[in-house]
Amino acid sequence: MLTDIEIAEKADMKDIRVIAEKIGCSEDDLELYGKHMAKFSDDFMKKVEDNPSGKLILVTAINPTPAGEGKTTVTIGLGDALRKLGKNSIVALREPSLGPCFGIKGGAAGGGYAQVVPMEKLNLHFTGDFHAITSANNLLCACLDNHLMQGNLLRIDPKRIVIKRCLDMNDRALRNITIGQGKRLDGVVREDHFIITVASEVMAILCLASDLDDLKARLGKIIVAYNYDNKPIFASDLNCVGAMTVLLKDAIRPNIIQTLENNPAIVHGGPFANIAHGCNSVRATKTALKVADYVVTEAGFGADLGAEKFLDIKCRMAGLRPDMAVLVATVRALKYNGGVAKDELNNENIDALSKGICNLGKHIENLQKYGLPVVVTLNKFVSDTDAEIDYIRQYCAERGVELTVSEVWAKGGEGGIPLAKAVLETLETKKSEYHPLYSAELPIKEKIKTIATEIYGAADVSYSAEADRAIKKIEEMGYTDTPVCMAKTQYSLSDDPKKLGRPEGFTVEIREVYMSAGAGFVVAIAGSIMTMPGLPKKPAAEVIDIDENGNTVGLF
């Protein structure tokens, strides 16, 4: 059996100019990055902005096993399947982060015969967007520390600096560091911190900005520190926002590549959903809606994370109205939620399935709270048995939701045709009544409690003293009418990764709260979630290599 990268390397890729023609995009509308990758020109995005909008289909998932459950694979396969049925469809995805590529989860180009290519370039450096975001973020940090060194006219309190440096790599040793050591000219000694690039506010801003002017305005609103009078200091106060924008002027334009079946795919932006807002860029989604009749997009991790943020943050801010949701489940993840050990997930176990399937039920309920029609699809693994699939089908039927079996990993678009037909029928027969879960005008704690109780199923919310103080300060500064971006584990509906299935009666513990003023939301960190992940005991980096012919091996 071929690995994902072996399948990708054998792909018959077409020139990206040929792929772009399928959505009415000429060579003059592209900035080429080799033969198989390109960025849209600003002129093209303006040219299509008055086109009618297509249907927006959100692909999300139940709580996954540590290896993930193939949400991106299903997204790509569904897009290919719709094309096979003669529909003008396109997929809109996030860009992968290097962190999980070299960690435990792998890349984010799909899998099997439902991938976007060139897989290797996408998973590694791609068109340089993440490098630009990292550079812009760290330029801001460098200017701040230089300001401290050069006399600190803004009277910044070094102990109240909130902007953090970033790096697109899992590196726990950088979570808490000391900088400025050495001679006087080496800077002011202070404690500093790194987060992974996908958790940075600059990433969120890039993904939510409507254009270059909006990007620049949002960057200027980033709160970098507080002064000795407890007043916020903004990025604009450091006079480097123009330079940051220059670094991001190309990165803000969406990228186009192709699927294994030579269909167009827009891939842009990549905030994680467990520690950020988890959606591709607004510009990418809006461009996709103007060039296709059906846009298939994804939101990161489970529906309690990515979908909640897609629906409560991105759609609210961008004025998007999704038409339906596809909820991806696997037999493996349902048994995992039923208490089965990772090394026993390939064995038939109806008892564990019956215990874990409540996780699926909760996610169905949650999506329906937003007024969205829902179709459940089972991403099929070889080890799945007919008895297990029949059990899940009956469970869904009892809740008035159709279950389809997706075999896109093994069969590409052909394996997604049952799902595509179910999606088309749902769009024809059921109307979306999308609405956010909560009003942005509610007090911050009320918004947090609404998400915790309605989406996670919590009984209550508790706050650390630090989080309490932060909320009071945010409200004093006038940032009350903003959505909340909850950062928590992806492995559980709760904030405890060990609470599987559908936990009840628990209290969500909010340990940190801060304002992402440029992005336009409050971030609330629950439990022990880390904004700079670490590598596992045996990271994927140990098996990734290059052979004597210059081919990459071990990337997945």
CA-nearest of 507, 526, 530, 519 to 483 is 519
Annotated catalytic residue 422: no
Annotated catalytic residue 453: no
Residue 142 to residue 85: CA distance in whole angstroms: 52
DSSP β-ladder status, 255-259 and 114-117? antiparallel
Please, which residues have CB within 8 angstroms of residue 482's CB and are 6 or more apart in sequence? 440, 515, 520, 521, 522
Tokens of 433: 């009544």
Residue 465 to residue 373: CA distance in whole angstroms: 41
| Through-space distance between the first and last CA atoms of the chain, rounded to whole angstroms | 14
**Identity of the amino acid at 47:** K
Give the active site residue among 71, 253, 316, 411: 71
Annotated catalytic residue 310: no
**Identity of the amino acid at 474:** I
Please, which residues have CB within 8 angstroms of residue 150's CB and are 6 or more apart in sequence? none
Give the active site residue among 126, 272, 301, 310: 301
Residue 236 to residue 4: CA distance in whole angstroms: 45
Paired strand residues for 553: 545
Residue 363 to residue 502: CA distance in whole angstroms: 10
Give the active site residue among 39, 55, 105, 488: 105
Residue 217 to residue 158: CA distance in whole angstroms: 25
Residue 367 to residue 302: CA distance in whole angstroms: 11
Residue pair 511/525 in contact (Cβ under 8 Å)? The answer is yes
Give the active site residue among 381, 399, 421, 541: 381
Annotated catalytic residue 409: yes
Give the active site residue among 114, 265, 273, 333: 273
Annotated catalytic residue 272: no
Residue pair 204/519 in contact (Cβ under 8 Å)? The answer is yes
Residue 540 to residue 106: CA distance in whole angstroms: 7
CA-nearest of 205, 197, 196, 199 to 241 is 205
Annotated catalytic residue 285: no
Annotated catalytic residue 17: no
Handedness of CA 217, 220, 222, 223 (dihedral sign): negative
Give the active site residue among 409, 467, 511, 519: 409
Q: Which helix (H) or strand (E) holds 327?
A: strand 324-329
- DSSP assignment of 237-303 equals GGT-HHHHHHHHTTTTSPEEEEETTS-EEEE-----TTTS--B--HHHHHHHHHH-SEEEEEBSSSI
CA-nearest of 188, 190, 197 to 170 is 197
Give the active site residue among 8, 38, 39, 73: 73
Percent of the chain as helix, strand, coil, to the nearest 5: 40, 20, 40
Give the active site residue among 39, 94, 314, 488: 94
CB atoms within 10 A of CB 292: 27
Number of helices and strands in the chain (H, E): 21, 25
Active site residues per annotation: 71, 73, 94, 105, 273, 301, 381, 409
